[in-house]
A and B are shown apart, each in its own frame.
Chain A
Amino acid sequence: MLGSQSSLVLFDEEFSNITSILEKLLVEANAKALFLVDKDGQLISSTGETDQMDTTSLASLTAGNIAATGGLAKLLGEKEFSVLFHEGEKDNLHLSLVASRVILVVIFDQRSSLGLVRLRVRKWNEELEKIFNSLEKKAKEKGAGNQSFFAEITDEDIDNLFR
């Protein structure tokens, strides 16, 4: 796990690797849409039929859902529930944890099935974990690698945000 105060930093290379995994998973699982969400509720990446969706809200509610379920797990003496499934009339939601720190959201309808989604998620989960574990290492080595950028922020930049 990252230290409590450190940030999640995503670079171009990992971002495109993540996106290409999501695209493969989308096809293989016959899913409608996929989201990768930080446990704190921030959207990392998405693919599929996301045009009509409020992706920011979706990310925040997913994280809330996982947080609440995680709280329940602890109460029962479980470390976490690593998979959640919500069944709707048309669309279903499959939530799973990647490397204990990001949430993979799969939205699917009757074109797919829970069994297929579960199988494909399990297959790609490992690849995603590798990326997030290496990101963690990279962030530590580089000291997040963004010294120059943040050091250059001026008070004026900050004030300008609120004009």
Chain B
Amino acid sequence: MSFINYASREINLKIVYYGPGLCGKTTNLQYIYQRTAPEAKGKMISLATETERTLFFDFLPLSLGEIKGFKTRFHLYTVPGQVFYDASRKLILKGVDGVVFVADSQADRLDANVESLENLRDNLEEYGYQLEKLPYVIQYNKRDLPNVTPVEELSRLLNPGKVPEFSACAPKGEGVFDTLKAVAKLMLISLKKNEK
């Protein structure tokens, strides 16, 4: 749920990175954090286990610039991908303005992707949201690994609605900013539509 503050002239928007365990959600945020100028970012918070798996969420606030005199801030969150953290995952989705689904391209993670996407739909529905109606993009991550499913096949399986999709290698940053820009753009366009 966006937050528009006329008094301080700010717009706040919440983006959630969703996807199966180890698909690279946290890595996306880490790369964005590393490559963003100090004045445009806040502290990155990671609530993680000792083995660096996300336990509750990662959080990264970005403030990219102004639109018509309004500071535009994006709050990026990741969910914990491991199946048994579903209760926490659901909580993070509350009030979401835009979703990035990060898929793991490795062939043996195909089922995990499909399951996670279904889980995303279910959890959104509990809040009365529909994935199709939200600003939403897909990222096919880990394209650098040898045993990956072809993008065409991933797209057929995971992206029937043909939302914007990006190939990525998150640790090297490939596709990371393209993904973020695409979802941010969809969110701002949707604000514009909703308010008309």
Residues 112-148 (chain A) with a chain B CB within 8 angstroms: 143-144, 146-147
Chain A contacts of B65 at CB under 8 A?
160-161
Q: Which of A56, A143, A144, A146 has most chain B Cβ within 10 Å?
A: A56
Q: Kindly report which residue of chain B lies nearest to residue A75, judged by CB atoms.
A: B87
Min distance, Cβ A119 to any Cβ of chain B, angstroms: 29
Min distance, Cβ B43 to any Cβ of chain A, angstroms: 5
Interface residue? B128 (CB, 8 A): yes
A40 touches B3 (CB 8 A): yes
Cα-based distance from A38 to B68 in the complex (angstroms): 24
Interface residue? B162 (CB, 8 A): no
What interface size band does chain A fall in? 35 or more
Interface residue? A76 (CB, 8 A): no
Q: Which single member of A8, A68, A162 contacts B1 (CB below 8 Å)?
A: A8
Which of A26-34, A103-111, A149-157 lies at the interface with chain B?
A149-157
Q: Kindly report which residue of chain B lies nearest to residue A65, judged by CB atoms.
A: B56
Q: Kindly report which residue of chain A lies nearest to residue B6, judged by CB atoms.
A: A11
Residues 146-196 (chain B) with a chain A CB within 8 angstroms: 177, 181, 184-185, 188-189, 191-192, 194-196
Interface residue? B107 (CB, 8 A): no
Residues 38-68 (chain A) with a chain B CB within 8 angstroms: 38-42, 44, 54, 56-57, 60-61, 64, 67-68
Task: Known A41-B75, A61-B45, A143-B195; judge A153-B68 contact (CB<8 A).
Answer: yes
A64 touches B64 (CB 8 A): no
Chain A contacts of B6 at CB under 8 A?
9-12, 15, 146
Residues 53-68 (chain B) with a chain A CB within 8 angstroms: 56-57, 59, 61, 64-65, 67-68
Task: Known A9-B4, A44-B5, A158-B67; judge A67-B195 contact (CB<8 A).
Answer: no
Task: Known A6-B1, A8-B3, A10-B4; judge A60-B185 contact (CB<8 A).
Answer: no
B184 touches A162 (CB 8 A): yes
Pair count A-B, CB < 8 A:
133
A60 touches B127 (CB 8 A): no
Interface residue? B91 (CB, 8 A): yes
Chain A contacts of B43 at CB under 8 A?
54, 56-57
Chain A contacts of B90 at CB under 8 A?
71
A5 touches B129 (CB 8 A): yes
Q: Which single member of B12, B56, B133, B195 contacts A68 (CB below 8 Å)?
A: B56
Task: Known A15-B7, A15-B8; judge A67-B129 contact (CB<8 A).
Answer: no
Task: Known A143-B195, A151-B195, A158-B67; judge A64-B5 contact (CB<8 A).
Answer: no
Interface residue? B94 (CB, 8 A): yes
Q: Which single member of B1, B68, B72, B189 contacts A5 (CB below 8 Å)?
A: B1
A144 touches B195 (CB 8 A): yes
A158 touches B188 (CB 8 A): yes
| A residues at B contact (CB < 8 Å) | 2, 4-12, 14-16, 38-42, 44, 54, 56-57, 60-61, 64, 67-68, 70-71, 143-144, 146-147, 149-153, 157-162
Given A71-B88, A157-B67, 9 more pairs with CB closer than 8 A: A5-B194, A8-B4, A40-B94, A41-B75, A56-B42, A60-B59, A64-B56, A71-B87, A162-B177
